[in-house]
Amino acid sequence: MKRILVTGGAGFIGSHLCKRLLAEGNEVICLDNYFTGSKRNIIDLLSNPYFELVRHDVTEPYYAEVDEIYNLACPASPVHYQYNPIKTIKTSVMGAINMLGLAKRVKAKILQASTSEVYGDPAVHPQPESYWGNVNPIGPRSCYDEGKRCAETLFMDYHTQNKVAIKIARIFNTYGPHMNIDDGRVVSNFIVQALQGKDLTIFGDGSQTRSFQYVDDLVAGLIALMQTDASVTGPMNLGNPTEFTMLQLAQTILELTGSSSKLVFQALPQDDPQQRRPDIGKARELLDGWEPQVGLKQGLQQSITYFENVLSAQ
C-alpha cells in the first residue's frame, strides 16, 4: 500500500483519480480548496478508511509523509481560471513550488498535471512534446498557459538540481462525469444546453478542432506514467488523437440527446486555438500499452447520463 497525495482531488479529474487509486489498494490524501472542486464528487469515498479529505490551498505549504504526489490543483476552464487570473498563476507556480518542496523533503515521486495549453495556438499539427508552442504571454489565457509552462520549468529544475523524481503529463481536452455544470468547456456547455433545450453556442464558424479524451482513459494514463522508471520524466502528451470540429461535436450531442436545440454562432474568443490534436507516440511507446479506449459517442453518452441526473436533482 502506497500513501498518495492528490492535490485538486475533489475536482473533475482528481475525484476519478482518487477513486481509481483507492480501488488499487492505496491510501489517498485528497487536498482541495473547493474553488472548482466539490465534496459531491468524492462523497462516496468518505466512508473508506484509507481516504482522507483535507481542505487546503496549495499556495500554502502542506506537510505529510507520502510516497507519491499527483499535483492536479488548478482551475482548468477559461471561465474559472480567468475569474481570478492572479490566483490562477499563483496556484500553478506557488503550488508547484510547495509540492516540489514536499516531494524533495520526503523523497516522493511527483507528477505534474500540465496541459495542452502550453502549445498555445499551435503552428505544428499534431503537437509533439518537442514543439515549444505559440503562446501569447500577456493575453487573457496566459495566466493559465504561462502558469503551467512555468510549473513545467520548476519541475525540470527540481529534477536537475535536486534529483526529485518527476513526471510531467500534458493533458489534452478531457470530459466525463463530475464536470461542473457551469464548467464553461465545450462538452459540458453543449450537453447542458441540449438537455435544457437551449441554443448550442458555437464560437467562430465551428471549423476549429479539438481531440476529446474520456476521463477514465486519462486516469489510466496518469497512473501508467507515474509507474514508469526514473528515466521517464516527460513531458508526455495524454489525449485521444481522434480529431473533431466543433460542428461535429455539436451535431453528435444533438443526436445523442434527441434535442431540438439550434446552433448559434458567436465571435471567437481572443487566442482561442484553431487546432488541437496530440501526438501520443511517446505515450504508446513508454506506457506499457496505454491507448485511449473510449470512443466519443460512448463517452458522451455516459456524460449525458451524468448531467441528466444532476439537472433532475436541481
Q: What is the spatial distance between Cα 105 and Cα 100, in angstroms, rounded to a whole number?
A: 9
| 245 to 28, 184, 205: CA distances (angstroms) | 38, 17, 10
Known catalytic residue: 144? yes
Question: How many helices and strands in the chain, by DSSP H and E?
Answer: 9, 13
The half-sphere exposure of 276 on its side-chain side, counting CA atoms within 13 A, is 29
**Phi and psi angles of residue 131, each rounded to the nearest 5 degrees, phi first:** -75, 130
Cα-Cα-Cα-Cα dihedral sign, residues 204, 89, 192, 126: positive
Catalytic residue among 70, 81, 144, 158: 144
Name the burial class of residue 17, with classes exposed (0-12), middle (13-18) and buried (19+) by CB atoms within 10 angstroms of its CB: buried
Helix (H) or strand (E) holding 187: helix 186-195
Q: What is the spatial distance between Cα 212 and Cα 276, in angstroms, rounded to a whole number?
A: 10
**Please, what's the b/e burial string for 106-120 (b: 16 or more CB within 10 A of its CB; e: otherwise)?**
eebbbbbbbbbbbbb
**Please, what's the b/e burial string for 272-285 (b: 16 or more CB within 10 A of its CB; e: otherwise)?**
ebebbbbbbebbee
Q: Give yes or no for a contact between 114 and 169, defined as CB atoms under 8 angstroms apart.
A: yes
> What is the set of active-site residues?
144
